Structure 1
């Protein structure tokens, strides 16, 4: 049983620690790795149960396995503490399991690898695009909508750091888009993200309602909303699926507001 426990723990920790994670535990694991390989090498030469228990072939086997188990438990606790520390620095890491988090931490500057995890870390981001300098210039949603960042974001090997910057830059970019939408009299729906367009529409609706209530003329509001619906339904969206989603969201909001 001791041998089975050691092998199970070793199988979990070996891929992690062998690629450089937890340098502080490297020497401890290396010692266990050497002991286990030596034991299994002898077992492979003569796998009979009786021979495994032979003190001449495997001197102090019980003590060695107990020590291996103890050392692997220490490695496991150190790994758990390490991952908890990273999750404290970047709470979105709680959304992924230990194996995925280890890959994120080990491949933080590999955009192809990071793109496979973004959908679990962010609700609306499934992919980021980089320029020739390995700086993020835009992000994409699951619907294929692409949003350009206000300014490029440099990717580093410290995943928790640049993911935090991505979150704040993402918010700043959407806030800028919202301001532009609110300040434009003739919106180009292709230029702005759907979230900013819908929020701007609802801000405008609230403002118009306040004006109409002040004049006791809600009937004019209904006419204005009908005119907006008419204009939106005139778009040719047959070849633009992203634009179709934006217009559909706006139409649903306007119908709800009516």
Structure 2
């Protein structure tokens, strides 16, 4: 069909030009004389007047369209030249990562793990002589926690106070032990707690009490300030 249309147009041009004394014998000749032009775009056909300068040929327009499409494709496929910035997440170890411990370092790793394990017992009820989650007393909490790390301590708070190095209260760090004399009549060490945090001068420690079981208290509380006896460092 397309070929038939092309032949018919060619004959029409030839007959019309013959009337003016010229005979067109081929499509090439018609193009040379400015009577016929074509486009490379399928379905596009252009018949011009004798003056070829009156409008752009189909071939030129086709080239422009191709050039336009080429630029469009280049803009779509153009690689990104802007640098990709990956935000670095700074890892900070604070009290949320290690219970109440905020001064983590490789040097005090064991102390931190001891504190973490002691914190697992928080909420366990008080039980005289107890050393498990079914119930434990103050020295039982300390004894069981250190035993997890194969560190053997005496069973009573009185005997535990004889182990390690005695230090000043102002020098304590997480993992150190605090000893108290809560019995006014005997006036001997009968209670022990494990330091969990030292923040802005406030010392927190975990211990087991008759009323609350395993809980956390502060050395700023008057009761513990008055009954404090000494502090010991088991691990250096």
Rg (Cα) greater in structure: 2
Q: Return the TM-score normalized by structure 2.
A: 0.23
Q: Return the TM-score normalized by structure 1.
A: 0.21
Q: Which structure's relative contact order is higher, taking Cα pairs within 8 Å and 6+ residues apart? A: 2
Decide which structure has greater strand share: 2
